[in-house]
Chain A
Amino acid sequence: MAIESEVLVIGGGLAGLTSALSAAREGADVRLVSYKQSTLRNASGLVDILGYTPDGEGPLTDPYEAIPDLPDEHPYSTVGLRTVKEAMGLFDEVVPNYQGEHTETNALLPTHGGTVKPTARYPASAAPGLASDDRDVLLVGLESMVDFDAQHVAAHLENAGVPFDVRGETIRFPGDLRADAKVTRYAKLLDTNSEVPVRGRNKMARDALAERVNPLLEDEERVGLPAILGDDHARSVRAALSQKLGAEVFEVPMGPPSLPGLRLEDALFEALDEAGASIETGNPVADFDGEDRVERIYIEKNGAKIPNTADQYVLATGGLVGKGIESNRENVYEPVFDCHVDNAADRYEWFENDVFGDHPFATYGVATDPDLRPTDADGDLEFENVRAAGGVLGGYDYAAEKSGSGVSLSTGYAAGQSAAQEAL
């Protein structure tokens, strides 16, 4: 016996969640398994489609316009422009508190490093920070959060030529927090509006924070803080602060671990739960049975191998960072099904010497047929019932192109839909 489903998705990131969601909405009995908790909490929460072409042209105004000109091996070319748009439609439908769907053009958002980033969808909490808005901005950093140096970020933005005045100030977060307090600690204090000690008196956290920012505010209409403004009650935290400051408060998305990423993770898992899928995290897929078809996979728990069977499988295990693609001294490989990954025989050809060069390894991943089924070195199917989505795919450099989320969403959407149609 085994734990059974019709479509089994391996991977709990954006691609896996989208595959599972689209398969479940087709009516399939779906199960999603992930080695560990979703890594979406490492993501900024910004959802990009395409910011730059593979040749480095950009920032692009309209990502959809550039998609038809992408090389054949690019995952966007595999699924096609229409699928990308449909996938974005699914995202807009199931994820609340996001903006950007009103237009096909990219928005420009300030990052915590002070650059301006082209992106397609962004959390509502970041929306008032748009770089195309001409209202002046005060950025407020926290002494203990060295990842966001407000003065430095302000200077960078000014140099980037943003159409507004921007200033940076740094404060101490009220209360006796540790110098290395976790982002969840700030969020919890603001969510619950707990009392914090300020010069011997207890004050509500939201009031105390607003009181530290207020004297620094001149006539800016917008105030940006690092993305720590609440978790479960982020909207009311921001609304309360905006009201107390008389200026629109926004969050600047931060590096990992990231609250906007965490909120996105929660929203997608909730949608998947509502769609009736089964979800299991905590242990890796260690083995499988099957030759032309995958018959079953085994999840390993401390030596116990738990069999899981399905009619169709989606491989959404991520790329080099997510461990969906691994390497040793001889080879680059895909560890779950050992799908073929094209790579240079000499490992010194995997990279360029220039740090920011055009590294071949960045595009390493599995190649597929038009239905996203991985193919071997000869172009034949590895398995007839496995599809791949997201970072495990080759043929694109998500970091340089700013295409990671869009590729995950669109290939996840297509793989899940096709898997469900095949299974039903």
Chain B
Amino acid sequence: MESAFEPTEPNTGEEFEPVDVFPDSDDFDLRPGSDSCYKCSTCDTNCPVAEVDDEFPGPKFQGPEQWRLKQSEDDYDIDDSVMDCSNCMRCDNACPAGVPLSQMHNTARGEYVSEQMDHLSIEYWRNRILSNYRTSAWLASKTPRLANFAMNLGPARWLMEKTMGVTKEREFPEFATETFREWWDKRGAAAGSKERAQAARRERGLPEDADKKVAYFHGCYSNYNTTEVGKAMVRVYEHFGYEVVVPEQGCSGTPMFANGMLEDARRHAEVNVSSMSDLVDQGYDAIASCTSCSMALRQEYPELFDIDGIDDLAANTFESIEYLRIHEDIREEIQAAEVSGELADEFAYHAPCHSRNQGLDRQAVELFRELDGAGIEDVGESCSGISGTYGWKAEKYEKSMKIGDEMFDHMEHAEGETGMTECPTCAMQMEHGTGYDIRHPLELVEAALVDGHAV
């Protein structure tokens, strides 16, 4: 009998033309991504958790391998180790084959939390409360002084660890007595910003009606805690002649993705996409000062949700300094500037994991190495270990500190005794491990370029 296939001599003939069995798909079918994995394990060598945790199987298993297992068995349960993934997303930046690892992790974790986790368990509610930080912060901002006092009270923290599993080792972040949005409104909001932008354009010799307008996604932390970052963003952008608007917004969803709370994340994403994409339609670009917020809007939204306008928003979202590097000659202005005062300092800079996929991990170092009056040193490529809510969980606290050890060590060896990073929770970890003050790059840009920036 003649065989259908003769391996030593290709005999495909004219009638036989192989076709794509699994054509590329535009929806959330993860098969093409899974098929692209050739098991080089590069992702595993980038995983900060697998480096210290002997229980954790690593991103290659969590992503493409688990996805396949899910296809082969109807009653396959997602492995509970998916909750030990910190969603640092370093594996994405590592994969030479472009496998969407974090998308696989996010969907698997979402499925695990919605279908396998006990919704009456303390862990579920603890994670839900942690990931809905915006709600707690909103509440605390009503009485910030009382919140700052009560949240760090010894007995209260002991109780929180015992009953909720929130580590008592960490200091709760301080709440600002005036939120960024309150400051923004007082300052004249969008109308005030337009006036100041026009004045700056006149000074720069630009037409007064130049098309320079951005919508600021400040995120929760710049609004409730480090309001100086939000203020710096506004002043720096106005300095370059941009009109800033601050649209209605919820949480970016970052802590919710990391906890598998995809329904909560979707609720917030709907608010954000709706208000931000309307502005994108009107010609605004979306700017975030937190690299996890910009990551969420750019990558996780289109990977996880199908909301009208979501792709346009992703394509028009930028990190705050990145945008100025593209559209302004910020490099030249920084080279010509000299910083004095409080920020004339040496900085130990840590690049947040979420800045990496966006190609921004060297941005601050490369910009500020050319600035007179301040110094900056990269403290290495390790993860800070906190990964948002991860390091707040009592059972993960030690692991989080073990991951952070390398960064703490490098910070202590760096010349500066002030830290710098774009990510609010990396900043918490840096401060926790070294006791240093931590600043945001925008604050240094402000100090270097904006006259009388305390106004």
Partner of B10, one of A33, A185, A273, A348: A348
Is B177 interfacial (CB 8 A cutoff)?
Answer: no
The distance in angstroms between the C-alpha atoms of A405 and B317, with both chains bound, is 39
Bound complex: CA of A232 vs CA of B55, how far in Å?
A: 23
Q: Tell me whether B54 and A304 are in contact (CB under 8 A).
A: no
Asked if A281 CB lies within 8 Å of chain B CBs, one says yes
A185 pairs with B54, CB closer than 8 A: yes
B44 on the A face (CB < 8 A): yes
**A36 at the A/B interface (Cβ < 8 Å)?**
yes
Q: Check if A175 is an interface residue, CB within 8 A of chain B.
A: yes
* Chain A, range 158-206, C-beta contacts under 8 Å to B: 175-178, 180-185, 188, 192
A302 touching B8, Cβ below 8 Å: no
Give the docked Cα–Cα distance between A41 and B43 (Å).
Answer: 11
With a CB–CB cut-off of 8 A, which chain B residues contact A42?
40, 42, 96
- Whether A77 sits at the interface, judged by CB under 8 Å, is no
Contact B54 A301 (CB under 8 A): no
A242 within 8 A of B: no
Instruction: Report yes or no: A185 in contact with B50, Cβ–Cβ below 8 A.
Output: yes
B358 on the A face (CB < 8 A): yes
Q: Which residue of B lies closest to A283 (CB)?
A: B359
Say how far A334's CB is from chain B's closest CB, in angstroms: 18
Q: Are A302 and B302 in contact (CB under 8 A)?
A: yes
Q: Is B54 a contact partner of A1 (Cβ separation < 8 A)?
A: no
B10: chain A residues at CB < 8 Å are 348
* Contacting residues, chain B, for A307 (C-beta < 8 A): 326
B188-196, B242-250, B308-316 - the one binding chain A: B308-316
Q: Given that A2-B326, A303-B314, A304-B316 are contacting pairs, would A184 and B51 also be in contact in the complex, using a CB cutoff of 8 Å?
A: yes
The one of A39, A278, A283, A299 in contact with B362, judged by C-beta atoms closer than 8 angstroms, is A278
Tell me which of A37, A182, A188, A306 contacts B58 (CB under 8 A).
A182
B366 within 8 A of A: yes
The 8 Å CB contact of B315, one of A178, A188, A302, is A302
Q: Are B57 and A180 in contact (CB under 8 A)?
A: yes
Q: In whole angstroms, how far apart are the Cα atoms of A277 and B302 in the complex?
A: 33
Q: Is B52 an interface position by the 8 A CB rule?
A: yes
Check if B45 sits within 8 Å of A41, measured CB to CB.
yes
Task: Give the distance to chain A from B76, nearest Cβ to Cβ, in Å.
Answer: 19
In the docked arrangement, what's the CA distance between A322 and B46, Å? 19
CB pair B54 A181 closer than 8 Å: yes
Is A282's CB under 8 angstroms from B44's CB? no
Tell me which residues from 55 to 113 in chain B have a Cβ below 8 Å from any Cβ of chain A: 55, 57-58, 61, 93-96, 98
Smallest distance from the beta carbon of A413 to chain B beta carbons, Å?
Answer: 23
Which bucket holds chain B's interface residue count? Answer: 35 or more
Contacts of B209 in A (CB 8 A): none
B378 contact set on A, CB distance < 8 A: 273
| Closest chain A residue, CB of each to CB of B295 | A302
Q: Which residues of A5-40 are within 8 A (CB) of B?
A: 33, 35-37, 39
User: CA of A41 to CA of B90 in the docked complex: distance in angstroms?
Assistant: 15
Among B51, B302, B326, the one with the most A-chain Cβ atoms within 10 Å of its Cβ is: B51
Query: Known: A36-B93, A36-B95. Is A302-B299 also a contact (CB below 8 A)?
Result: yes
Contact (Cβ within 8 A) A257 B41: yes
Q: B356 touching A304 by the CB < 8 A rule?
A: no
Per-residue CB contact flags for chain A residues 245-284 toward chain B (1 = under 8 Å, else 0) read 0000000000011000010000000000100001111110
Instruction: Confirm or deny: A353 has a beta carbon within 8 angstroms of a beta carbon on chain B.
Output: yes
> Which among B94, B98, B315, B359 is the interface contact of A303 at CB below 8 angstroms?
B315
Given contacts A1-B328, A188-B52, contact A257 B44 (CB under 8 A): yes
Question: A2-B326, A181-B54, A301-B298 in contact; A279/B362 too (CB < 8 A)?
Answer: yes
Inter-chain contact A188/B51, CB cutoff 8 Å: yes
* B contact residues around A183 at 8 Å (CB): 45
Query: Of A1, A178, A262, A299, which one neighbours B57 at CB under 8 angstroms?
Result: A178
Shortest beta-carbon distance from A175 to chain B in Å: 7
Instruction: Establish whether residues A177 and B54, one from each chain, have CB atoms under 8 Å apart when the complex forms.
Output: yes
Which of A37, A176, A307 lies at the interface centre, i.e. has the most chain B CB atoms within 10 A of its CB? A37
A-chain residues with CB within 8 Å of residue B329 when the two chains form the complex: 1
Q: Report if A345 contacts B (CB, 8 A).
A: no
Cα–Cα, bound, A283→B41 (Å)? 20
- Proximity bits, A294-334, B CB within 8 Å = 1, else 0: 00000101111011000000000000001100000000000
B326 touches A3 (CB 8 A): yes
- Residues from 276 to 319 in B contacting A, C-beta threshold 8 Å: 298-299, 302, 311-312, 314-318
Given A182-B47, A183-B45, A257-B42: A304 touches B317 (CB 8 Å cut-off): yes
Question: A41 contacts which chain B residues (CB < 8 A)?
Answer: 42, 45
Q: Are B359 and A301 in contact (CB under 8 A)?
A: yes
Return the chain A residue nearest B312 by Cβ.
A303
- With contacts A182-B47, A188-B51 taken as known, whether A304 is within 8 angstroms of B318 at the C-beta atoms is yes
Residue of chain B at shortest CB distance from A279: B362
Interface residues of B in 330-388 (CB under 8 A from A): 356-362, 366, 378
Q: CA separation between A178 and B366, bound complex, in Å? A: 40
Q: Are A282 and B54 in contact (CB under 8 A)?
A: no
A282 to B354, CA, bound (A): 11
Contact B54 A39 (CB under 8 A): no
Contact B96 A36 (CB under 8 A): yes
Is B14 among interface residues, defined by CB-CB distance under 8 A? no
How many Å lie between the Cα of A101 and that of B153 in the bound state? 63
Q: CA A302 – CA B61 in complex, angstroms?
A: 25
> Which residue from A37, A176, A184, A273 sits with its C-beta under 8 Å from B44?
A184
Q: Does B325 count as interface, using CB distance less than 8 angstroms?
A: yes
A263 CA / B173 CA spacing, docked (Å): 38
Nearest CB in chain A to that of B313: its residue: A303
Does A353 lie within 8 Å of B9, measured CB to CB? yes
- Decide yes or no whether B327 CB sits under 8 A from chain A: yes
Is A184 in contact with B357, judged by CB distance below 8 angstroms?
Answer: no
Residue of B nearest to A303 (CB): B315
CB of A90 to closest CB in B, whole Å: 23
The docked-state distance in angstroms from the alpha carbon of A181 to that of B50 is: 8
Within 8 Å CB of A39, what residues of B? 42, 96
| Chain A residues, CB < 8 A from B95 | 36
Residues from chain A with a CB closer than 8 A to the CB of B41 are 182, 256-257
Q: How far is the CB of B405 from chain A (nearest CB, A)?
A: 8
Which one, A3, A262, A302, contacts B314 given CB within 8 A?
A: A302
A1 touches B311 (CB 8 A): no
Q: Residues of A contacting B362 with CB < 8 Å?
A: 278-280
How far does the alpha carbon of A282 sit from the alpha carbon of B326 in the complex, in Å? 17
Please name all residues of chain B whose beta carbon is closer than 8 Å to the beta carbon of A262 when the two chains form the complex. 45
Interchain CB contact under 8 A, B9 and A282: no
Q: What would 4 more interface pairs be, CB under 8 Å, given A262-B45, A303-B315?
A: A181-B54, A257-B40, A278-B362, A279-B366
Can you report 12 A-B residue pairs in the complex whose CB atoms are below 8 A from each other? A3-B325, A36-B96, A37-B46, A37-B93, A37-B94, A176-B54, A183-B45, A262-B45, A282-B358, A303-B312, A304-B315, A353-B9
User: Nearest 10 CB-CB pairs, A to B?
Assistant: A303-B315, A282-B359, A280-B359, A257-B45, A182-B44, A302-B298, A302-B314, A304-B315, A184-B51, A184-B45
Binding site for B on A (CB under 8 A): 1-3, 33, 35-37, 39, 41-42, 175-178, 180-185, 188, 192, 232, 256-257, 262, 273, 278-283, 299, 301-304, 306-307, 322-323, 348, 353
